[in-house]
Structure 1
Amino acid sequence: MANTLDPMDLKQILTLYKDGLSNRKIADTLSISRNTVNSYIKRLKGSSYSIDALLDFDNSKLEELFTFKTTLNINRQDELMRYFERVNKARNHPGFTFQYHYEEYRDSAEHPYSYTQFLEHYRRKYADVKGSLKLEHDPGKELFVDFAGRKLEVIDKETGEIIPVEVFVAILPNSHYTYIEACRSQKREDFIACCANALNFYGGVPKAIVSDNLKSAVTRASKYEANINRSFKDFARHYNCVINPTRTYAPQDKALVENAVHLVYQRIYYPLREMTFFSLAELNKEIHRLLEQYNRLLFQRKETSRAELFQTIEREYLKPLPAESYEIKDYRRAKVQKMGYVYFSPDKSYYSVPYRYIGKQTLIHYTKNIVEVYYNHQRIALHQRNLSKGSYNTNKDHLSSSHQNYMDWSPEYFKNKASVHGNYVVACVDKILNGLDYPEIGYKRVMGLLQLHKDYGSQRLDRACQRALAANMVSYARIKNILKNNVDQNSLFFKDLEDQQSHIPKHDNIRGASAYQ
């Protein structure tokens, strides 16, 4: 059964085709079957869209135009390679024949290869004689990257602790122009940051970046079709290039960068052997000084240097750098909650999405500044990242109409609502909200008060509020009772009695006759 090909891989095919590579070259560069590349290119030519338009399409739209399939079955290939390990151990046993082992393999395999292919794959894996080939590298085509096997050290000033650090090496194979940087680790964040610094150092972008099968670059290694780390693939998309990991058990694929690492030991490590550094910045400053000297050294058999070859030949073949620098992306899966938010676990915070996606599973893409929420390869929400734990980050356009009204609630909002019913209603609203330390508690009470106009009308509501204010009994329940018992329509006799001069001194705890209706 064919494996699903990531939509980003199709964009890599389109990018290389746009750069003028043949179908065979594209297949070799991406380690994809040539027949697969041919089928995609045919569909490309048969579509009514240009390459630039297709590269701008999002993944979901590309899925409508292309079927992402590859002709290589990794499980079938892995099954054969594992069987070969057993075959090779029995190779020198008397009476050994390939026919015997092929029949054994054919009976045990679910989808066996033919006998001819069986022998061909075996001879590729266990060739008797492996010759070497001098590879010619086109300028600007590839950038080889790797980490040196030996580490350098920095010392913590506070504790005196010796901290080992990794050394990243990048080389353009045509000019051998080299970039070196010390970093904290081989983790994805450090690796991608080093790659970005290398491209800035060169001032341009090659067609492909050739990496070793590092965990920070490849999620699953394969001799024929490796799975590229999603963040590294996104990095390549940003810089308009492709990723081409070296094959497993094929040291010739990275011989050039291995040789560069060996020279780095001689030209960089050895001069640093008696120096002490207290920070990465100090170490990298000295590395870059020695690196400049190294790149200006003349080749033994050429009357030129790496820097000169790069400046005169290779630099013009590099693609321009993008206008914006790359920010590494991370990913989290999250389900949209009933209230219309996704939970963002790294910060323990919440971000709103359009309410119609409630209950859907989404993928969150985030950088140190941005949080994006995707559903079915389409971005449905974009937020500035808020590092405050437990925060709710809301875009009002995402809320339903009822929720949008709720977000607008404030004391001024309710006073404006009350003003259409009369001044006494406004005064009651103000008194209810001002009597609470936390105004939000009174919002529901005020909403209930304003809803009374639907049953009794604005005029009666205003008179009821006048009675409540006069008796200093302002609350939703009391005003509702005034209206329900028609007290607002009674004579103001009791109010008039209260207005007359009384021999009893006024006090907040003394109520008038109108309180006893």
Structure 2
Amino acid sequence: MHCNKTPIKKVTELLRLKFEVHLSHRKIAKNLEIGVATVSDVLNRFSKGGVGWSPLITESQLEEYLYPNRLKATVKLAPDMGGIHQQLKRQGMTKKALWQKYREEYQEQAYGFTQFCERYNRWLVKQKPSIRQSHQAGDVLLVSYVSPDFAIVNPDTGELREVIILVASLGASNYTYSEAIESNDIESGIMAIANALTFFGGTPSRTLVYQQASFGRNTPSFNKNYLAIANFYCMSSEHLKLRSGQTKRNIDISLRVVTRWILSKIRSVDFYTLESLNTTLSQLSKKLNQRVVKSLPESRSSLFELLDQPVLEPLPDSSYLYIDYRTLKAGINHHVCYKKHYYSIPVQYHGAQLDIQATASSVKIHHCGRLITQHSRKHKENGFSTIDEHMPTDKEKYKWSPKSILRSSKKIGSSTSMVIDEILRSTRHPEQSYLTCFGINNLAKQHSCELLELACKKAHYLDRINRKVIEQLIKTELSLEKH
């Protein structure tokens, strides 16, 4: 390390030529291609050092003899690049501010700002892609729904239950949360995000969901529910649906590394319940968060406490209540069908597009942003929740009424008409049986009027007036005809 413009090797050769070969200043300058003044300056400095020439003098000793005051100034102390990289993730932090702090600490031994930035950039290029990718503290929650190559096995029946694994990671610290959910359970998928935010103890500025798995794909209700939870926690949101060819190159690198590590640990293990899988995922996430990242070197937990935790917004006072958002069209029976149960609507909204907001206890129905009715949530398949005031009083005003449906069935035959009449009378409101009647009448188009008449006659005789029974009777008759 040297501070003079003349290389130290030339200085060594200069002294050798002077004291061993005994050349003049001018010949030495010509031989080494340097100025005569430089030769004089080096020899004067050497004589002031108070030591004699010896071929055994090392370059470092020689430099100390010639430039004793300037040598100390040449020793530069490199900054902690890992610490700088983490500090830059803090909101409002800049390289200039970090350099000034570094300069105040090391004074003349500190690099200038240009060298400071240059050395940081060279350090950053050498790091893994997961380290190079940077997010501001408290800025983003990265979420990925991943479909693993295994399923939960029922030990008694051998039945396989497909699962989806949610992996959530804060951008700055990579502090991680993971949870397994049923593959088709959108509610659990949305609530897993709420569980992740509870785990982190605060909310970032935005969420970014990478949807690798088929979970919720092409499902408008998933997008609405995802926006609802983002609005509840006052976060902006971005939702990326990744095709299989895009997954590896488009997903955030740090999140990809975490996901790959977690999946590698559970791939060879058999799980029999969702609870046991989630227990294992919790243990793995804790181990991952406490493990030291070699390149920094700090753990995700310590980085979370240093970077993300201080700037996360506090959680709302109340827990998130899952609301399922759907857009459904009102049917000809003056009901909307949600989760295979029918809920009545005011008669004037017949055929309109309606917005459904369903919780565990209620179903609210809106039109153009205005609440038009609400019902208690029911789970009976093909059941009806009907408010009397919603049913039309002047039924003939509408295209379909009990009389018009009976007229259609009479064209098929008397037995069909008799069955349709009994079905219409079997419910408190005839509108509740419209779909069943249409289904039976349509069997004449699928097969023939004669077959439907015969099946209805048998069903009436057996006192089993039911659409499924009539369909089965038609299938039985068709199989007998083939034989």
- TM tier, shorter chain? 0.3 to 0.5
Largest Rg, 1 or 2: 2
- Taking structure 1 as the reference length, the TM-score comes to 0.44
Give TM-score scaled by structure 2 length.
0.46
